[in-house]
Structure 1
Amino acid sequence: MTTAIRPTSFAHVVYRTYRFEQMLGWYVKVFCGKVQYQNPVIAFVTYDGEHHRVALLNLGILKGASDAATPRGHPGVDHVAYGFASLRELLGKYAELKEKGVMPYWCVHHGITVSLYYADPDGNQMEFQADSYTSNDEANAFMYGPHFEANPIGVEFDPELMRARLEAGESEAALLLRTEHLPVSEVRGSMLG
């Protein structure tokens, strides 16, 4: 009998808000935090060495940008994130859940993490992630670099293909790095979609 794969950490929470600047100021003040990255749509705040602990989505910008506003376009929790120890464990969890009939609705390489998004029966969303970098300093450097600025959301991927590449011997380190300038992926049901 195999051991169930479990998260190693609670990683972050994402809030949707119409009070983007107020919320950003509040989380910085309350947690003695630091803004890691901010654009008009999204901001990432940390209070420790982690690349982000709180993210904020600006619903005012999102609603104004499209007639098809987010299906969950009201203020509140967008999703919570759980960290796994490695890409191998993350993809193992994907396989474990697939066998039980539970599939992610969105698979995206954010650059700082490789992430699988799931929704529970009530529609609560969660992100299962593996960090792309071995240190928070490296992840933070990526967030300040040109690839993240060009695409802070990420690039969709097929977990079956990534798992096959890993099983064929490609290194986790190679699969974890997002170095190309690819267009922002369409988001399905979370974040900006």
Structure 2
Amino acid sequence: MQPVYYAEHAAWLTNDEANHRIALLRLPGTKPPVDKPHTAGLHHTAFEYESFDQWLDNYARLRDQGILPAVNLHHGMTMSMYYIDPDGNGVEIQVDAWHDWAVSKEWMWASQEFSEDQVGPQFDPEQLLAARASGLDFDTIQKKAYAGEYTPADANPDVSFPDVWPARLAAQPELADGVPAGEGALPIGID
């Protein structure tokens, strides 16, 4: 995403020719969420990579910076890695499992598998990297992942996002007072 305009408490971003696709606002008086992963509101935004290699290379790039996904799921139509941003919002990084939106949309609509399980199996991205390094192609890897062959050793049946706010409030109790108005306001947190 590229910023079109940003100010001390806001940013408008786009990933195409539109004037903006996402607006991030830190309005005065905004209070921190309570149990964010389990209450109504924004759950996650999704971004799709064009190819499996780009998607998996992005995982390795982020991993090397110490940024790891909270959960990795093969939904059948996409393979998705879910990250948590500093405010506890989910960010899904995905690749289409069928190389074609029309085919994956048809699979979603018509398959018995998706009607029975919309979440799908977890996978370990390190095992995907190893499978690719051994010479397996994306179609083979994604089929094996959907069959549960790359399940992480520490797979947790609870695939909900962790709540980052209790630790943030413990470290910065002043956040509980909400975003102050005027001078001295907290930074928006966007680079």
Is the contact made by 1:114 and 1:129 (CA closer than 8 Å) also made in structure 2?
yes
Q: Which residue among 98, 102, 124 is the counterpart of 2:89?
A: 124
Is the contact made by 2:84 and 2:161 (CA closer than 8 Å) also made in structure 1?
no
1:122 to partner: Cα distance: 1.4
CA RMSD of aligned residues (A): 2.8
1:71 to partner: Cα distance: 5.5
Q: SS where residue 155 of structure 1 aligns?
A: coil
Is the contact made by 1:113 and 1:176 (CA closer than 8 Å) also made in structure 2?
no
Unaligned runs of 5+ in 1: 1-7, 10-69
Unaligned runs of 5+ in 2: 1-14, 17-34, 150-156, 163-191
| In 2, Cα distance between equivalents of 1:137 and 1:96 | 30
The change in CA–CA distance for 1:88 and 1:118 in structure 2 (over 3 A counts) is same
Give 1:62-81 correspondences, 5 Å limit. 72-81=37-46
Is the contact made by 2:80 and 2:92 (CA closer than 8 Å) also made in structure 1?
yes
Give 1:94-173 correspondences, 5 Å limit. 94-143=59-108, 144-173=110-139
Indicate yes or no: 2:176 matched with 1:176: no
Residue of structure 2 equivalent to 1:186: 158
Indicate yes or no: 2:82 matched with 1:82: no
- Which has the higher relative contact order, 1 or 2, with Cα contacts under 8 A spaced 6 or more apart? 2
Number of residue pairs aligned between Structure 1 and Structure 2: 123
4+ runs of 1 displaced by more than 3 Å? 177-182
> TM-score if structure 1 supplies the norm length?
0.57
Could you list the per-position Cα deviations for residues 141-187 of structure 1 after superposition, in whole angstroms to 9, with x for gaps in the alignment? 211211111211111000000111011110111222366499xx531
Q: SS where residue 115 of structure 1 aligns?
A: strand
Structure with a larger share of its residues in strand: 1
The change in CA–CA distance for 1:186 and 1:136 in structure 2 (over 3 A counts) is same
Identical pairs, percent: 29
Residue of structure 2 equivalent to 1:12: none
Give 1:6-25 correspondences, 5 Å limit. none
